[in-house]
Amino acid sequence: MNPVQQRFCRLNAALGEQILGQQILLERLLIALLADGHLLVEGAPGLAKTRAIRQLGYHLEGHFQRIQFTPDLLPADLTGTDIYRPQDGSFTFQPGPLFNNLILADEINRAPAKVQSALLEAMAERQITVGKKTYRLADPFLVMATQNPIEQEGTYPLPEAQLDRFLLHVRIDYPAAETERQILNLARAEASNSNPATSTEVESDSAGKLSVAELGEARQQVLDLYMAENLEEYLLQLILATRNPRLYGEELVGAVQYGASPRASIALDRCSRARAWLHGRDYVTPEDVQSLVFDVLRHRVLLSYEAEAAGMTVDRFTGELIARVPVP
């Protein structure tokens, strides 16, 4: 394990001390950071989604910003706007919250389509245009958007074509009973401290924050990680099977309305490499691919009405593909 991998290992351990019972979310956050992509997280309230990305911000060189999405939000509330100065009759650009490194788009499905598209354009292009000027966004730039699965009234679901721009769609669940007991102890310990957020930042500063240069080096190492040709072929076959599932069983005929786009192949490749790198390996295994294919396909495969009526879900369909596509 090289020094940069060791830094990420320590970062993962530090996050795990503050975020209990959500190791999958933490790993996916680091994978998205290494793969230079964005994350859509779905889970009930109170499962440490906000806390996770805020804690990552404490340990990373850069700035964190939380945006609460509401029905009255406007695109300019994200991107910023030109402010008129009556003193000299000029306009000055006032940057919006998107000009930060880590963005939490909380309850993204509560904002109307114009606001969602403004965020997704910034995610894809890494720039925004206000008036006649285009402004580059910060680097690194990571958006973690959240959705609340238990409330659908007054929401604006994201179209499938826009969901495709997220690298991963992660679903998280409640922690185990013993973990929840540890959460109680942690909450009591923090409550006894008059300012726990400041205390966390001080600890992070003393340990040294992950620099932009270190992150860039880590991303390059991830891209250079070895993947065998037969494993790359396996990865591609998993994605291609979503477009032509009849090759793997007559019972899957008609199950899919639209298969995964080429973005899925790119995402699965980069995320598999990032997972292998985080685990201290210099090569990718089938387990890396299989563990991430659910998060890669969950928001990219559109099942047919008949399949959904029969109780099929995208996760179940993905499980069928893993069982049927030959592993190298």
Confidence at residue 319, expressed as pLDDT on a 0 to 100 scale: 95
**Of 194 and 151, more confident:** 151
Phi, psi of 92 (to 5 degrees): -120, 130
Measured between alpha carbons, how far apart are the two ends of the chain, in Å? Answer: 26
pTM: 0.90
Classify the C-alpha dihedral 148-145-219-21 as positive or negative. negative
Q: How far is CA 90 from CA 40, 85, 110, 140, in A?
A: 39, 5, 35, 31
Transcribe 1-17 into DSSP letters.
--HHHHHHHHHHHHHHH
Amino acid at 205: D
In terms of Cβ atoms closer than 10 Å to its own Cβ (0-12, 13-18, 19+), residue 241 is buried
pLDDT digits (tens, 9 = 90+) for 111-128: 888 898 889 889 989 998
**Mean per-residue pLDDT over the chain, rounded:** 89
Percentage, residues of the chain above pLDDT 70? 95
Neighbours of 240 (CB within 10 A): 17
pLDDT digits (tens, 9 = 90+) for 6-53: 999 999 999 999 999 999 999 999 999 999 999 999 988 889 999 999
Q: How far is CA 76 from CA 51, 81, 301, in A?
A: 26, 6, 32
Judged against a pLDDT cut of 90, whether residue 301 lies above it is answered with yes
Strand residues in the chain grouped as ranges (E): 39-42, 64-68, 80-85, 90-95, 102-106, 127-130, 133-136, 142-147, 168-171, 256-258, 302-303
**Domains of the chain in sequence order:** 3-204 (3.40.50.300), 225-324 (1.10.8.80)
Nearest to 312 by CA among 325, 321, 303, 324: 303
Judged against a pLDDT cut of 50, whether residue 206 lies above it is answered with no
Residue pair 205/61 in contact (Cβ under 8 Å)? The answer is no
- Which residue is it, tokens 């650009």? 93
Nearest to 19 by CA among 53, 60, 44: 53
Q: What is the largest CA-CA distance in the chain?
A: 73
pLDDT digits (tens, 9 = 90+) for 147-157: 877 766 667 88
Residue pair 257/245 in contact (Cβ under 8 Å)? The answer is no
Residue pair 87/41 in contact (Cβ under 8 Å)? The answer is no
Joined together, the tokens standing for residue 67 give 């945006």
CA distance 165 to 207: 34
Cβ partners under 8 Å of residue 127, min gap 6: 134, 135, 136, 137
